[in-house]
C-alpha cells in the first residue's frame, strides 16, 4: 500500500537534495529576528513541488509557499520541508541538514522520507509497514527510563525565550541522562526511529519540520504525539517506546 506515493516522495526528496548539493555560495534572502531565509530553501522547494505536482493531485503544504491546493482527495496532503537545518546549512554543517517529504491523511502521518544527502542516508517509513535507512530496517532504542535516556530537542524560531519559559524548559530536561541539540528537527525525530537517540520533543516547532520524521518514527514502532496549535505550529513528542512515554507522562512531561 502507498508504494507509488513512497516512490514519488523519494524522487522528490532526491531532486531537492540534488538542487541543494549543486549550489555554490550560500545566499541569504532575509534575516528577521531568529529566522533565516536562504535562496536554497526556495530553489529546493520548487524542485520538490514540481515532482509532487507531476505525480499527485493532493494538496501540498510547504515551508516557503504555504498551502498549494490540490484536485485529489482533500484528506491527503503532502507536507514538505525543502531544507531542514537552515542555520546548519549556512554554517557548512551539511551533515546536519536534510530534505523532508511526508504524506499525511487528516491529522495522521501515512509515510515519510528524510534524506540526509551529505551523509548519504535515506530514511523512509510507511505506517503499518515499517521503516528503513538505505533499505535496512530500523527500530527505536529499548530504553524505558528517562534517567537512562538521551533526549534530542531544540529552540525553534517561534519559541518563547522568556525567563519563565526557559525555567520550564530546564525542568523538562533535567530528568534525562543526556541532552542533544542538533539543529534539525527532522533529523532528531528520525534518529529516534533508528535508535540513535531515545527521545525527541520540541514546543512550537512547525509541522513541516516534523511531519516526515513523525511518520518514520511511527512506522518504526515509536510512540509519537504531534499536537497541532494552529498556523502550522505544533508541540511534538517522539519517544522510543511506550514505556518511556509512560515514564515521562508520569513525571508530567
Query: Is 236:185 a contact under the CB 8 Å cutoff?
Result: yes
**In a shared domain, residues 152 and 54:** no
User: Containing domain of residue 220, as a range?
Assistant: 146-250
Q: Which residue, 115, 137, 159, sits at the end of a domain?
A: 137
Those residues whose C-beta lies under 8 Å from the C-beta of residue 41, and which sit 6 or more positions away, are 63, 64, 82, 83, 86
List Cα–Cα distances, 233 to 15, 142, 180, 253, in angstroms.
Answer: 26, 30, 22, 19
**In a shared domain, residues 32 and 127:** yes
Separation CA 46–CA 109 (nearest Å): 23
Report whether pLDDT(29) > 60.
no
**In a shared domain, residues 156 and 214:** yes
pLDDT average, residue stretch 93-99: 96
Q: Which residue, 137, 157, 192, sits at the end of a domain?
A: 137
pLDDT given for residue 24 in this prediction: 65
**In a shared domain, residues 19 and 125:** yes
Helix boundaries (H) for 84-229: 86-90, 163-173, 185-193, 207-220
List Cα–Cα distances, 59 to 76, 187, 195, in angstroms.
Answer: 7, 24, 32
Q: Which residue, 113, 137, 161, sits at the end of a domain?
A: 137
Domain count, the chain: 2
Q: What CATH number does residue 237 fall under?
A: 3.40.190.80
Q: What CATH number does residue 74 fall under?
A: 3.30.540.10
**In a shared domain, residues 104 and 194:** no
Return the H-helix or E-strand segment holding 163.
helix 163-173
Report whether pLDDT(189) > 80.
yes
Report whether pLDDT(150) > 80.
yes
How is residue 179 written as a grid cell?
Answer: 541532552
How is residue 198 written as a grid cell?
Answer: 531515545
pTM more than 0.75? yes
Q: Would you give the DSSP letter of residue 44?
A: H
**In a shared domain, residues 168 and 191:** yes
Amino acid at each position: 500500500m502507498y508504494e507509488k506515493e513512497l516512490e514519488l516522495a523519494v524522487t522528490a526528496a532526491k531532486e531537492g537534495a540534488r538542487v541543494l548539493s549543486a549550489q555554490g555560495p550560500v545566499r541569504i534572502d532575509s534575516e528577521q529576528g531568529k529566522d533565516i531565509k536562504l535562496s536554497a530553501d526556495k530553489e529546493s522547494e520548487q524542485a520538490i513541488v514540481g515532482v509532487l505536482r507531476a505525480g499527485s493531485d493532493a494538496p501540498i503544504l510547504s515551508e516557503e509557499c504555504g498551502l498549494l491546493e490540490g484536485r485529489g482527495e482533500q484528506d491527503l496532503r503532502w507536507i514538505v520541508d525543502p531544507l531542514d537545518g537552515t542555520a546548519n546549512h549556512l554554517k557548512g554543517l551539511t551533515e546536519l541538514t536534510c530534505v523532508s517529504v511526508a504524506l499525511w491523511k487528516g491529522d495522521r502521518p501515512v509515510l515519510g522520507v528524510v534524506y540526509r544527502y551529505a551523509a548519504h542516508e535515506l530514511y523512509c517509513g510507511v505506517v503499518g509497514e515499517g521503516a528503513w535507512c538505505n533499505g535496512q530496517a530500523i527500530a527505536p532504542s529499548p530504553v524505558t527510563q528517562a534517567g537512562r535516556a538521551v533526549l534530542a530537542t531544540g529552540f525553534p524560531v517561534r519559541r518563547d525565550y522568556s525567563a519563565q519559559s526557559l525555567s520550564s524548559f530546564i525542568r523538562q530536561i533535567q530528568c534525562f541522562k543526556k541532552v542533544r541539540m542538533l539543529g534539525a528537527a527532522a533529523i532528531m525525530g528520525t534518529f529516534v526511529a533508528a535508535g540513535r537517540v531515545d527521545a525527541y520533543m520540541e514546543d512550537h516547532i512547525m509541522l513541516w519540520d516534523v511531519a516526515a520524521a513523525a511518520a518514520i518514527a511511527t512506522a518504526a514502532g515509536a510512540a509519537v504525539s504531534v499536537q497541532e496549535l494552529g498556523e502550522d505550529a505544533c508541540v511534538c513528542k517522539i519517544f522510543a517506546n511506550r514505556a518511556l512515554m509512560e515514564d515521562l507522562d508520569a513525571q508530567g512531561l
